[in-house]
Amino acid sequence: MMLHIPAVLTKPQVQEFRHRLAQAEWVDGRATAGAQSMQVKRNRQLPELSPLAQELGAFITQALANHPLFFAAVLPLRILPPYFNSYAGGEHYGMHIDGAIRMRPGTANAMRADVSSTLFLSEPEEYDGGELIVSDAYGTHEVKLAAGDLIVYPASSVHRVAPVTRGERVAAFLWSQSMVRDDAKRGMLFELDQNIQKLRAAHGDDEIAVDLTGHYHNLLRMWAEV
């Protein structure tokens, strides 16, 4: 399941992020790539343990924790602190699949990466290229969102970032371990949740809404790992 989540950050928050990131020292993005990804990754990143990365990452994590659509779609059990990257001058990231197990920076704590997320920090008109291109059973999807918007997609997807031929593409990216590891089951729960919300908005907590809510929680009880 791919989902566009708008306005995770406000425009003033994005501007503050960009101002601070413009003064940061970036390093070769291959520092955090696996053996296969290293061959196709050409970008820059903030050092993962830099104070700025940790501060801005904590802000994003809190914003996501408070976002009901993100919670409904991802059902996060753990969220890895966000990373920050930049692409310019033809930089790109070739076809790859995100690693299944991620280590929390600076610790020996591991988590399973079920869901990938990219938070765009550059407006689409600021750069050419730079689309996130995700391939799955339903085809190929190109994503280029407004600054402050987030895309979530299965970490098991094959994806790439197209070369940036003008301007600069700045983004944050992160992984979540979901309480429900199977993407199809997460998608079913999300659709059921969203339809329950529509039903409640139209008719209140009538007998049908209560019954469907019970089915939602019983499926979650059956599938969740906590």
Asked whether residue 206 falls in the same domain as residue 97, the answer is no
83 with 53: CB under 8 angstroms? yes
Asked whether residue 187 falls in the same domain as residue 99, the answer is no
Residues in the annotated binding site: 96, 98, 159, 169
Single pTM value for the model: 0.94
Asked whether residue 163 falls in the same domain as residue 71, the answer is yes
Residue-number span of the structural domain to which 213 is assigned: 183-223
Residue 4 pLDDT level (bands cut at 50, 70, 90): very high
Query: Which residues contact residue 146 at a Cβ distance below 8 angstroms, ignoring those fewer than 6 apart?
Result: 6, 120, 123, 124
Asked whether residue 114 falls in the same domain as residue 215, the answer is no
Asked whether residue 145 falls in the same domain as residue 206, the answer is no
Asked whether residue 112 falls in the same domain as residue 208, the answer is no
Residue 107 pLDDT more than 90?
no
Beta bridge partners, 85, equal 45, 171
Asked whether residue 106 falls in the same domain as residue 208, the answer is no
Residues in the annotated binding site for 2-oxoglutarate: 169
Asked whether residue 12 falls in the same domain as residue 100, the answer is yes
22-81: per-residue pLDDT in tens? 999 999 988 776 667 778 999 999 998 999 999 999 999 999 999 999 999 999 999 999
The tokens describing 159, both together, are: 């994806």
State the Cα–Cα distance between residues 30 and 209, nearest whole angstrom.
49
Q: Give the per-residue pLDDT at 29.
A: 85
Residue 117 pLDDT level (bands cut at 50, 70, 90): very high
Asked whether residue 78 falls in the same domain as residue 144, the answer is yes
Asked whether residue 195 falls in the same domain as residue 216, the answer is yes
Q: Give the per-residue pLDDT at 34.
A: 67
State the Cα–Cα distance between residues 19 and 177, nearest whole angstrom.
31
Residues in the annotated binding site for Fe cation: 96, 98, 159
Q: Residue 120, SS3?
A: strand
Of 178, 197, 212, which residue sits at a domain end?
178
| Angle between helices 207-223 and 183-203 in degrees, nearest 10 | 160
Mean pLDDT (whole number) for 207-223? 97
Asked whether residue 154 falls in the same domain as residue 213, the answer is no
Asked whether residue 98 falls in the same domain as residue 208, the answer is no
State the Cα–Cα distance between residues 223 and 218, nearest whole angstrom.
9
Q: How many domains does the chain have?
A: 2
